[in-house]
Structure 1
Amino acid sequence: MKLESFYSNLSIKYKFIIFYFSIILVLALLFGTFSYYNSRKYVFNSANRANSDKVKQITTSIDYLRKDIYDVSTIICLTPSIQKFLRNSKNLHHATDFNNDSQELIDYIIASKSYISLIIIYNAQGFPVYYKSSDMSSGAKSLNSANEAAIYKKACALSGKPLWLNINNHNQVLIEDNKSPKIAECRVIKDIYTMNNMGLIVICVNEREITKLFSNNIKKGENISIFDNHHVVLSFGNQMVANTPITSTLKKDGNTDYGYFVKKLAGKDMLISYSTSALNDWIVFDSIPAAQLLKEINSIKSFSIIVVIACIIVTLPLTLLISSYLTAPIKRLLVSMKQFQQGSFDERVEIKYDDEIGKLGAGYNRMVSNVKDLINNVYVLQIKEREAELNALQAQINPHFLYNTLDTIYWKAEKQGQEELGEMVYSLSRLFRLSLNRGKEFTLVSSEKELIEHYLKLQKVRFKDKLNYALLFDDEVMDYILPKLILQPFVENAILHGLESKKMGGFISISGKKEKNSLSFSIEDNGKGMDEATLQKLLSLEPDDDSNGPIMRSGYAVKNVIERLNIYFGKDYRLNIFSKVESGTRIEIIIPAQKFLTNEEVSHDQTPYRGR
């Protein structure tokens, strides 16, 4: 948030510079990343092609070696003299010499197959009955111990197929004193007549004999590993691969013939190429650190950084020049606005171009001109208002003249015994006084009630028995205030539209009460009522309507009340009109309850006028 706020408060010039260089940085990073990963893919593909050929060659050589060992073991297992020797060795518990034919055969095999370092033959009871070594390894363990028994059991389960083992410092089996790591083929020997198991043959090859097949082609950091379906058979080079379950990755990929993949080993990405043996149980892996292959293309990263820095250095002066050129009109506009704020209403900015900034300047010039005209108009209006105030002060003589004239008429009527006429004059005088309300907009509820009462008295003289009314105001509402003349227009409307044309006359009820924080007023009559069309016409009359007649005059008064209520209370008031033809009309006005205002805002004139 702080960084966002800092950037938002920068000038447009510096925002433009930051934005421009951000674009350069993003483009350079995208270009560098794209180039790097494409080069990386190319290097991996090239290395994989080379490594795949190497792995396939190694796989072929190993397959040839394994087949040769398998053939040798088959020859030994099927030799009649050895078959006979094993049939007669049930009670033999230690190694002994074969007859001359068998001994010569094995000596020939070891001499001709220099890669074979050890041959052990066990009888059916698990005792080594023949042992021959060419690498100084000595001592053959029996098959009766746990580890050796498990090996024999697995070999028996394969029914003559070879079982391959690692014999090294981590897996000391079969040999008492092993001088060098070996890979051993174990095969059960079957009686050629009964096909029963009659022993086990173990042919060992020293690992160094196998690594001779590929050691000359191994680079620094590279590893050649041979896996069967369960564990590592042989590992040469980088030993971090030896304990990794790579074969599980191949099974997930669904392709175990050949290919390559990248896997993280010991925290490093390794490019691993593989090829499956034609015998279908060994997989040869060639793994090399990806970083070693990517040394040459790492220069792309450095090149991208150099390009970004060079672009920034080269384009910085040009960017400053362009940003200054673009923001200069805005700066001139800001200077003009400050002058305008200080009262210089003749300010203008020069418009050179019709771009967005030019349009902004043109809009500013129009605004300044309009503000100047508005100020001039307001000044003239203030002068006129002052003149109107003087005229109003002079016109205050007229109400006093009216009051004095009515006072004179009232006293003359009293002297001549015209009490009814006197009461009419008095009601008319009070009606005028309360309507004017000393020029104030708000009045007390008690004053509004008195005004309605005097108005109804005058109408009563006109309509006599056709007009009956009741004023039902709760005492608690009398000291609250309301806008003047918001009830009288509705009372007048009830008389003119509801009762005047009704032969039998009618009844009007005006009430006022307090409900929680609101004042509720009701004007209800039992007159003719109105249909929906007449009601809408009453509420929608405009001041320039040329129609004449009572409905038009009272309609303007009602509309005036609604407009004043909107001005004073906004959405805090409610006006509800319920009317039905020949059933009467009921009007509800609900406004906020307000009680205390200054003397300047409300009139407190409640003394009945009786003349001076």
Structure 2
Amino acid sequence: MKALYRNLRIKHKLFILISFVLLAFSGGCLAILQYAFKVYNEEFYRQSAQALNVSSNGIENELRKMERLSYRISTDPMVQSYLMQIQKSVSLYQQFVLRANLKERMIEIAGTDKYILSAHMFDVHGNESAIGNQQIEISRERMEQIKAEASLEEGGNRWVFPDGSDRALIAARAVRSYENLELERLGTLTIRLDLEEIFSDYSRGMKEGGSFLIWNGEQQLYPHDEKISSKPLRMNLEHSEGYQIVKIEGDRYFVTYAPSGHTEWTYMILTPYDNLFQTIVLVRNAVLGVLAASFIIVMFIAFRFARSITIPIERLNMKMKKVQLGNFQYSEEEEEEDRRLPMDESGQMHRNFRMMLQRINELIKENYESQLVMKDSEFKALQAQINPHFLYNTLDSIHWTSKMSGELQTARMAECLGYLLRNSISFQEPIVSLEHELKILDSYITIQKYRFEERLNFHNDIPTELYSCTIPKMTLQPLVENAIRYGVEQQIHGCEIRISAVVHQNQLLVTVSDDGPGMEHAFLEKLRKGDAAPRGTGIGLRNIQERIQMLFGDEYGIYIESERFKGTQVQIRLPYERGIGHVQSAVGG
């Protein structure tokens, strides 16, 4: 994948980059939007749970109140007395009077509670004593069910849930005699509660549009009509309380649930999700639409932007291919296209490329003209070789004539002068071995010794193992010539000139020193800067310096040290390079 990406065209890379940035931005927006939904859900759950807790606590307080009321009735001394008398009485009239007294006592205890529909006391003979404004006739089967469930609690309260014949919630309790702790069964008390009224009163704090539900396991206690399908709500809840979003008959609902602390019931608030979150859903859809539209627009702009960058580069690439094929000409159409380009980096590249081609064409023309000049110069140089050859032949004739006449000194000087002349005007080899350079220097010293005799004392201290090192041609002779000119000629007594060489840090250091009168500081500075003109017609130090730096670099060259009346020392620094050739014995001395 990395290699594939690297080989893609620039406009495709820009397109991928902008797409990645836009997708990352869109993903971030969606993540923030999702987080906002989650925060809103949790905040709505917090408010719903608070309302649910208020309602459920109110309902459970009423249920506890009913339990206490049923306990109070069943343990009331007068009620206990009436039931025990009914149990022992044989006379029907006496039983009738006792039941009437029992009703009056029950009215005194529970007759004012707004949620009680009716209260029924069944004695051991199965006779009923009922109070309340909404009394009903309880069937024998229903009564047997109530008695059976109440007996399971052994005197405790038992909640009997509504059935098809009666929609009231019943608090049932077996009445037992507590006199002398006999716990003899005296009857069964049932209190019918108006479940709708209780739930209606305590669910008024619910949000508008929300529904209050009570479940006992999988049985829906409230509301009774079951307008909402209960099947999706019969689920395994992960926690005893919390919230979920469920789908019922195509509609989504926000369900907040909490368990009862007093019964096995589960309280729920069911709120239509789409109505509740309609505004947020619209905002979300609007954001998604804006992101989608922005993505399309930005991708179109990115494509145009990438093309605006890559098209000039592609055109420049085509021009380079033309140059690669040897076409260095710039057409008028291409020049007109360059003028229409903006002067950004791409336009400047086109302009620089056009100027580079123009310069290349100029260099080609100049090189062609230079080649013509060089050919002409070579022809003239070939013609000019007649004069040096004539001079060589003349010197050679003087050499042999002097030998024949016994003038050996003159013959030797003519031989050395001819050798010097041949090497000074021959530039076929700009770099020679140190051995060859010392031979040239030896010829020059020979001539100068005939001139100055004992006043010139020359020493060669260069080790023979360095003779194969390379050095620019005609480097040592001008330095020794300067030593003679500024040393020997300036003194009446003799002057010692010494040449030596060492290798230090991969550099060849050749030193020419003399014990002459030295130089003034001002003249030495001019000499170092190359401002001092050479005396006579010799090769100046500046010429040698420029040749060395041109061949090897600026870190090499000539370094001069001199002090008045203490002589002069000139050091040549060259790269240490050994040539191939035979090293002969020391030259001069």
**TM-score, structure 2 normalization:** 0.56
Aligned to 1:41: 36
1: distance between equivalents of 2:393 and 2:403?
Answer: 15
In 2, are the aligned partners of 1:467 and 1:506 still within 8 Å (CA)?
Answer: yes
Aligned to 1:6: 7
Alignment of 1:110-129 (within 5 A): none
Residue 489 of structure 2 is aligned to residue 488 of structure 1? no
In 1, are the aligned partners of 2:52 and 2:269 still within 8 Å (CA)?
Answer: no
- Identity of matched residues, %: 24
How far apart are residue 21 of structure 1 and its match? 7.9
Aligned to 2:429: 440
Residue type at the aligned position of 1:565:
I
Residue type at the aligned position of 2:239:
A
Aligned to 2:229: none
Q: Relative to structure 1, is the Cα distance of residues 534 and 136 closer, same or farther in structure 2, using a 3 angstrom cutoff?
A: farther
Residue 402 of structure 2 is aligned to residue 413 of structure 1? yes
Aligned to 2:545: 562
How far apart are residue 471 of structure 1 and its match? 1.2
Q: Deviations over 1:72-112 (max 9, x none)?
A: 9999xxxxx9xxxxxxxxxxxxxxxxxxxxxx99xx89x99
Q: Deviations over 1:248-290 (max 9, x none)?
A: xxxxxxxxxxxx9xxxxxxxxxx99999xxxxxxxx99999x9
Q: Relative to structure 1, is the Cα distance of residues 437 and 374 closer, same or farther in structure 2, using a 3 angstrom cutoff?
A: closer
2:384 to 395, 398, 404: 395
1: distance between equivalents of 2:294 and 2:476?
Answer: 80
Residue segments in structure 1 that go unaligned for 5+ positions in a row: 76-80, 82-103, 115-132, 141-207, 221-235, 247-259, 261-270, 276-283
Aligned to 2:342: 355
Residue type at the aligned position of 1:368:
L
2: distance between equivalents of 1:605 and 1:490?
Answer: 23
In 2, are the aligned partners of 1:448 and 1:485 still within 8 Å (CA)?
Answer: yes
Alignment of 1:482-561 (within 5 A): 482-512=471-501, 519-530=508-519, 533-541=522-530, 548=533, 550=535, 557-561=540-544
Q: Relative to structure 1, is the Cα distance of residues 59 and 603 closer, same or farther in structure 2, using a 3 angstrom cutoff?
A: same
How far apart are residue 384 of structure 1 and its match? 1.1
2: distance between equivalents of 1:438 and 1:520?
Answer: 24
Aligned to 2:461: 472
In 2, are the aligned partners of 1:43 and 1:293 still within 8 Å (CA)?
Answer: no
Residue type at the aligned position of 1:566:
Q
SS of the equivalent of 1:217 reads strand
2: distance between equivalents of 1:507 and 1:407?
Answer: 32
In 1, are the aligned partners of 2:211 and 2:270 still within 8 Å (CA)?
Answer: no
Q: Relative to structure 1, is the Cα distance of residues 392 and 310 closer, same or farther in structure 2, using a 3 angstrom cutoff?
A: closer
Residue type at the aligned position of 2:516:
G
Q: Deviations over 1:223-257 (max 9, x none)?
A: xxxxxxxxxxxxx997665389x9xxxxxxxxxxx
2: distance between equivalents of 1:489 and 1:63?
Answer: 119
SS of the equivalent of 1:368 reads helix
Residue 578 of structure 2 is aligned to residue 591 of structure 1? no
SS of the equivalent of 2:518 reads coil
Aligned to 2:93: none
2: distance between equivalents of 1:604 and 1:391?
Answer: 37
Alignment of 1:4-403 (within 5 A): 4-7=5-8, 10=9, 14-15=11-12, 19=14, 23=18, 26-27=21-22, 30=25, 34=29, 37-38=32-33, 41=36, 44-45=39-40, 47=41, 50-61=44-55, 217=212, 242=239, 296=281, 299=285, 303=289, 307=293, 311=297, 315=300, 334-348=317-331, 349-352=334-337, 353=340, 355-356=342-343, 360-403=349-392
2: distance between equivalents of 1:587 and 1:273?
Answer: 102
2: distance between equivalents of 1:443 and 1:21?
Answer: 62
SS of the equivalent of 2:336 reads coil
1: distance between equivalents of 2:152 and 2:389?
Answer: 143
Q: Deviations over 1:519-544 (max 9, x none)?
A: 442212222334654333213226xx
In 2, are the aligned partners of 1:36 and 1:300 still within 8 Å (CA)?
Answer: no
2: distance between equivalents of 1:414 and 1:32?
Answer: 106
Q: Relative to structure 1, is the Cα distance of residues 52 and 448 closer, same or farther in structure 2, using a 3 angstrom cutoff?
A: closer
Residue type at the aligned position of 2:568:
T
In 1, are the aligned partners of 2:495 and 2:514 still within 8 Å (CA)?
Answer: yes
How far apart are residue 440 of structure 1 and its match? 1.9
2: distance between equivalents of 1:414 and 1:426?
Answer: 11
Aligned to 1:251: none
SS of the equivalent of 2:364 reads helix
Residue type at the aligned position of 2:524:
L
How far apart are residue 340 of structure 1 and its match? 4.2
Residue segments in structure 2 that go unaligned for 5+ positions in a row: 70-74, 76-104, 117-147, 156-194, 204-209, 216-232, 244-253, 259-266
2: distance between equivalents of 1:380 and 1:535?
Answer: 42
2: distance between equivalents of 1:525 and 1:272?
Answer: 111
2: distance between equivalents of 1:399 and 1:594?
Answer: 33
Q: Relative to structure 1, is the Cα distance of residues 485 and 286 closer, same or farther in structure 2, using a 3 angstrom cutoff?
A: farther
1: distance between equivalents of 2:289 and 2:429?
Answer: 84
In 2, are the aligned partners of 1:472 and 1:510 still within 8 Å (CA)?
Answer: yes
C-alpha RMSD over aligned residues: 5.9
Q: Relative to structure 1, is the Cα distance of residues 57 and 366 closer, same or farther in structure 2, using a 3 angstrom cutoff?
A: closer
How far apart are residue 364 of structure 1 and its match? 4.0
2: distance between equivalents of 1:399 and 1:511?
Answer: 33
How far apart are residue 589 of structure 1 and its match? 2.9
Aligned to 1:457: 446
Residue type at the aligned position of 2:440:
L
In 1, are the aligned partners of 2:435 and 2:584 still within 8 Å (CA)?
Answer: no
How far apart are residue 487 of structure 1 and its match? 1.6
Aligned to 2:79: none
Q: Deviations over 1:106-160 (max 9, x none)?
A: xx89x9999xxxxxxxxxxxxxxxxxx98665599xxxxxxxxxxxxxxxxxxxx
2: distance between equivalents of 1:364 and 1:137?
Answer: 104
How far apart are residue 500 of structure 1 and its match? 3.2
- Number of residue pairs matched by the alignment: 439
Q: Deviations over 1:18-49 (max 9, x none)?
A: 6468647755774675377358636844x556
SS of the equivalent of 2:461 reads strand
How far apart are residue 341 of structure 1 and its match? 4.0
2: distance between equivalents of 1:536 and 1:238?
Answer: 104
2: distance between equivalents of 1:21 and 1:4?
Answer: 10
Residue type at the aligned position of 1:489:
P
Aligned to 2:419: 430
**463-472 or 533-542, larger mean C-alpha shift:** 533-542
Residue type at the aligned position of 2:529:
S
How far apart are residue 431 of structure 1 and its match? 1.9
2: distance between equivalents of 1:351 and 1:426?
Answer: 71
Residue type at the aligned position of 1:587:
V
Residue type at the aligned position of 2:212:
N
2: distance between equivalents of 1:504 and 1:335?
Answer: 78
Residue type at the aligned position of 2:409:
E
SS of the equivalent of 2:475 reads coil
**358-367 or 442-451, larger mean C-alpha shift:** 358-367
1: distance between equivalents of 2:150 and 2:296?
Answer: 66
Q: Relative to structure 1, is the Cα distance of residues 395 and 364 closer, same or farther in structure 2, using a 3 angstrom cutoff?
A: same
